[in-house]
Amino acid sequence: MRRAPMALLLVVVLFGCAERKMTVTSDPPGALVFVDGVEKGITPVTFPFNFYGGRRFVLKRDGYQTLEEIRTIQPPLHMRFPLDTITDLTPIPGRDHKHLHFELKKLEDVDKEALLKRAEAFRERTWSEADLRLKKLGKKPPH
């Protein structure tokens, strides 16, 4: 009588598990992938995962903008309550393999002359605002 529960427990431990994998690809390939702040590898990369729901993906590659995106990973029907309980108790493991693809954008070349002009305009505007504040206080601007 005592062997039946132990046998059931042994079957659940040996066979009743879900296998969840995720493959992340990118265009172009070769991006470093972080999921929820944990480095997973370079695209294309496949790794196991345990939880569904919102996941934060960050992809980085030289010459491309860092991509940061939250995607919701949905469980398949057989891994949703109450069917997940049945799946976990059967000798056939539940499998779920998610495929996610990300498009990276190339970094734009910076026009150095335009950048310097914008910086100079910002400096002038900042100095004028500081000068006005000093004049209101009755003080002489330093330049």
pLDDT of residue 95: 84
3-state secondary structure at position 43: coil
d(CA 136, CA 21): 65
Helices assigned H by DSSP within 1-143:
3-15, 83-89, 112-136
Arithmetic mean of pLDDT over the chain: 84
**Is the full-model pTM beyond 0.75?**
no
pLDDT of residue 129: 73
d(CA 59, CA 85): 35
Of the pLDDT bands very low, low, confident and very high (cuts 50, 70, 90), residue 59 is very high
- pLDDT mean over 74-100: 79
Above 60 in pLDDT, residue 45? yes
Residue 107 tokens read as: 């970094």
> What are the tens digits of pLDDT across the range 10-42?
554 445 567 899 999 999 999 999 999 999 999
> What are the tens digits of pLDDT across the range 120-141?
888 777 777 777 777 777 777 6
